[in-house]
Amino acid sequence: MQYQIIPLEIGSIVEREVFQKDNMEIKCGLVWKLGSVATKYKPTFLKNYHPDIGICIADIKGASISETYNGEKVIFFSQTVPEALEEELTDIFYGISRKFSGQYQDIFQDLEWQLVKSESFIFGQLELKELDDHDLSYK
């Protein structure tokens, strides 16, 4: 048996990375407009689940993001990041930097930003679907 957890609101699956350097912090990642989370274990978190708070996907036994659609990249900076540095890091993040090319995670780390957290979350009202082997053969 496979279980599919589907948020009923747009933008309810988020993948976030946190980078730090000195007293500065970057929070960035993807907000998925639509998607789902799959697990082969029957979810037990739903009885204590709060839609406004959500849950870290790593806290759902055996779960992973299974489907995603129309991701939007987002980036936020602590107030301690100078504006000029924000602009440069934003260009790197969105892949429009003339000075740097490659994956933003690699470039940030080359610039001595340390990745301190990488997490995925699901929040909002959720629907749980049980899929048997017959349902999976049509996907």
pLDDT value, residue 134? 55
Domain locations along the chain: 2-131
Query: Could you read off the pLDDT of 93-138 as tens digits, one per residue?
Result: 999 999 999 999 999 999 999 999 999 999 999 999 998 865 544 4
Mean pLDDT confidence for 12-41: 97
Chain mean pLDDT for the chain: 93
Count of CA atoms in the C-beta half-sphere (13 A) of 78: 11
Instruction: Show Cβ contacts of residue 96 under 8 Å, excluding neighbours closer than 6 positions.
Output: none
Mean pLDDT confidence for 20-32: 97
pLDDT value, residue 133? 61
